[in-house]
Amino acid sequence: MNYEDFFKGRLQALQDEGNYRTFADIERRAGSFPNAACHNDNAPDNVTVWCSNDYLGMGQHPDVLQAMHETLDSCGAGAGGTRNISGTNHHHVLLERELADLHGKEAALLFTSGYVSNWATLSTLAAKVPDCVVLSDALNHASMIEGIRHSRCEKHVFKHNDVADLERRLGDLDPDAPKLIAFESVYSMDGDIAPIAEICDVADAYGAMTYLDEVHAVGLYGPRGGGVAEREGLMDRLTVIEGTLGKAFGVLGGYIAASAALCDFVRSFASGFIFTTALPPAVAAGAYTSIRHLKSSDAERLAQRERVAEVRARLRRIGIPTLENESHIVPVMVGDPIKCKWISDWLMANHGIYVQPINYPTVPKGTERLRLTPSPVHSAGDIDSLVTALSEIWSQCQLARSVA
Ligand SMILES: *Cc1c(COP(=O)(O)O)cnc(C)c1O
C-alpha cells in the first residue's frame, strides 16, 4: 500500500466536502481578551475571538495568573511523576478538596483533561462493575462515547434529553443488572439543557447510577458556579459530577466529584488516571484560584448573561437565525459546510472577527453553524462590529433571514 497516497486521498475527500479543519494560528493577549494576535495569512494582525470556551475570561484573571506565577516559581515546571509515583503535589490535594466542596461531594479526583476524566471514569466504571449496562444520551460528547465503548459493556443510546425513551429502555433491562445513565447538563453545540431532575427520578426508580458531564456549566451556573445541578439543587442526587478546569475556569484539567469510595475506586483502577504524569502544580494552583474566585463572585456570571442576551437580541432584530436555548451558547445556523467555512474566513479576513466554523462530525450534516460565545470580555464595540459584519455577509451571500 502507498501510505502517503492513502493519507492524502482521505484528506482531499475532507477538503472536497468542506469538512477539512484548519486552525487559526492566534496568540491570546492576557489583559486584552478577547483580542489576540493572528499569524495566519489572509487575516489581520489583530483579531477578536468570538468562539472561546474561556467563557468568563478567567484565563487572564490577575489572581489566577498570580497564583500560577508564584507556584511556578516555588514548585518548578512539572509535577515530576504520575500521582502514584512522586507526582502528587500539595496543590493537587488542595484542588481536589476545593472541587469536592464545590459539588457538595465527599471527594474529587483530578485528571489531565475533561476528555480523560470522562474516558477514564466511564470506561472503568462500566468495565469493572460486573455486567454494568450503560444508558447514554444520543448527543453525548466523544470522550464519554469512547470511554463507554472501551469498557465493552452493554450500551443503549437513548434519544437526546428524552426521559420517556430512557425510561422505556430501563424498563426492558434486567431489574437486578447494575446500570449507569451518562448525560450532560449543557450540550455544547445546541446549548440546550438536560432535564436533570427527571433523569434522576427515573434513575432512582430503576436503581441506576447517574453520571453528569457539567463541562459547559461549571463556573457558569449555580450560586457558586457548581453547575446546573447546583442551580437546581440536585447535586446530591447525582452519583458522579464531571467537569473541566479548561473552559469557564480558564486553565486546564478535568475531574470527577463523587463519594469517597467511588473516587477511590477510580483512583485505584483507572488506567487513564494511574499511568500518566500529573498536572503541573502551577496549573492546579491556577484552577484552584479560579474556582475559589467564582465561588464567591457573581460579577462574571452576570456580565456574561448580559452580553449573551445583548448578542441574541441584536441578531434577532436583523433576522440572523440563531438556535434558541436557555444557555450561554449562541449558535448562528448556516446549514452548509462550505458556506459556513467561507463565512468564517470572510469574517476573519475582512473584519478580524474569529469564529470557527462548526461542521460535521461535530454537528450533524445540514446543521453547520457559527458557535458564538459572548463573554464579559466582549465590549459594546465588539458586539457592534460582530452584528454589522454578520448583517453584511448575510446580505452578500443571500442567506435566509428569519422573520423577527
Ligand atoms: C470539551 C468537553 C470535554 C472535554 O473537556 P477538556 O477539558 O477540554 O478535555 C468533555 N465533555 C464535553 C461535553 C466537552 O465539551
What gap in Å lies between CA 242 and CA 263, rounded to an integer?
11
Distance 186 CA to ligand 1 centre (A): 11
Q: List per-block mean pLDDT (blocks of 10 residues) for the chain, which spans 404 residues.
A: 98 90 94 97 95 98 98 98 98 98 98 98 98 98 98 98 98 97 98 98 98 98 98 98 98 98 98 98 98 98 98 96 96 94 95 95 93 98 98 86 66
Q: What pLDDT shows up at residue 161?
A: 98
Q: What pLDDT shows up at residue 19?
A: 83
Closest among 129, 92, 128, 126 to 111, alpha carbons compared: 92
Distance 319 CA to ligand 1 centre (A): 31
What gap in Å lies between CA 374 and CA 192, rounded to an integer?
16
Residues 6+ apart with CB under 8 A from 137: 157, 158, 160, 161, 182, 183, 184, 194
The answer to whether 307 and 376 are in contact (CB under 8 A) is yes
Distance 246 CA to ligand 1 centre (A): 8
Q: What pLDDT shows up at residue 253?
A: 98
Active-site annotation holder among 105, 179, 247, 341: 247
Distance 215 CA to ligand 1 centre (A): 6
Distance 71 CA to ligand 1 centre (A): 25
Q: What angle, 0 to 180 degrees and rounded to 10, lies between the N-to-C axes of helices 90-102 and 281-296?
A: 30
Q: What pLDDT shows up at residue 399?
A: 75
Measured CA to CA in angstroms, residue 223 lies from 72, 217, 243, 337 at distances of 31, 12, 17, 39
Ligand 1, CB within 6 Å, residue ranges: 113-115, 118, 141, 143, 184, 188, 213, 215-216, 244, 246, 254
Residues 6+ apart with CB under 8 A from 384: none
Nearest atom in ligand 1 to 246's CA = 7
What gap in Å lies between CA 271 and CA 147, rounded to an integer?
12
Q: Which residues pair with 243 in a beta bridge?
A: 255
| Residue 247 falls in the annotated catalytic set | yes
State if pTM tops 0.75.
Answer: yes
User: In this structure, which residue's CA is closest to atom 5 in ligand 1?
Assistant: 114
Site to probe by mutation for ligand 1, drawn from 117, 187, 212, 215 as the one with most ligand atoms within 8 Å of Cβ, is 215
Name the 3-class secondary structure at 399.
coil
Site to probe by mutation for ligand 1, drawn from 52, 53, 119, 143 as the one with most ligand atoms within 8 Å of Cβ, is 143
Q: What pLDDT shows up at residue 402?
A: 75
